[in-house]
Structure 1
């Protein structure tokens, strides 16, 4: 992993993005997005993850996070490991999943090409954390994260997207417990 893709200062906020292997559009079904939501809430409650903003797109996740307890790299490792296993199981067991064989083929192929995996690789290896060391960067990444579903044509307003913290910043309550940035 390159030097620029590490959590250097555990006391700071980071913008983190991570994507599925081959940018496969897995998160087109609420079932799979809900697994990520549940994992974010679990990591907040049990591992000390501080979620300031989040957004789940069709093939990637954006977060603004911090932690004052467990190291962020450990939390991210556990989050990605748990979600990959749980989502792969859900894909395998979902009778409505018409793309099952195609999706699993991609993840199995990636898993065979990576010695760190036994069978499947769901997430790309890196998290690409970006240190948010200024108000300008925080505002820029928060805006980018919340505008992502609008730019993708999923919704017309950020707060209309159910899988984003934009609802919380618009004075509604979203499904992930967050800490509002001021």
Structure 2
């Protein structure tokens, strides 16, 4: 009897959106929490970060989990950690607007959790990237997002993205593992 060969993992395009599309990532302290957490998951959760953009209200990323790593678990832990850290930061900054919205979102959500706040909308909607064509499409979508959002005229001018890594071979924070697109 032969042993089953594990399927190769694919990179996934994921989106995480703040409740009520609240533009908290316009604030450096909140944005840094997400950037640091993206860095942490690739160093400690057995995933590769292939691309990212942190917009004021949401983030997009391409993440490649190692074999036998459950992407849902990684995303759950990422969202739980960032939600708690952002909530604590909002409390210490006395950001009553954010706290009120996070509290309202928590009350409207039927799920039982130990937190008083909900920062992220439910779901991350991962899409498996099976082809080079689809990978290119998602990379362009991620990197052009700040241009479409009116934040910059050129994607290379947006600092919270992996665009410069792909186009100029520059190091970004967090660093990314470039997708092979040939």
**TM over 0.5, shorter chain:** yes
1:150 to 140, 147, 152: 147
Equivalent in the alignment of 1:116: 112
Quote the Cα distance in structure 2 between the aligned partners of 1:35 and 1:119.
19
Equivalent in the alignment of 1:139: 136
Q: Structure 1 residue 116: deviation in Å?
A: 2.7
Structure 1 43/10 Cα, relative in aligned 2: closer, same or farther at 3 Å?
farther
Structure 1: gaps of 5 or more residues: 1-8
In the alignment, is the contact (CA less than 8 A) between 1:10 and 1:71 conserved in 2?
no
Quote the Cα distance in structure 1 between the aligned partners of 2:15 and 2:149.
16
In the alignment, is the contact (CA less than 8 A) between 2:90 and 2:96 conserved in 1?
no
Quote the Cα distance in structure 2 between the aligned partners of 1:131 and 1:161.
26
- What are the superposed Cα offsets for residues 120-143 of structure 1, whole Å, 9 maximum, x if unpaired? 111011001111111111100100
Alignment of 1:8-19 (within 5 A): 11-19=9-17
TM-score, normalisation: structure 1: 0.88
Quote the Cα distance in structure 2 between the aligned partners of 1:10 and 1:76.
19
TM-score, normalisation: structure 2: 0.88
Alignment of 1:71-110 (within 5 A): 71-94=70-93, 100-110=95-105
Equivalent in the alignment of 1:174: 172
Greater Rg, structure 1 or structure 2? 2
Quote the Cα distance in structure 1 between the aligned partners of 2:52 and 2:142.
7
Q: Structure 1 residue 10: deviation in Å?
A: 7.2
Structure 2: gaps of 5 or more residues: 1-6
Count of matched residue pairs: 170
Quote the Cα distance in structure 1 between the aligned partners of 2:8 and 2:87.
31
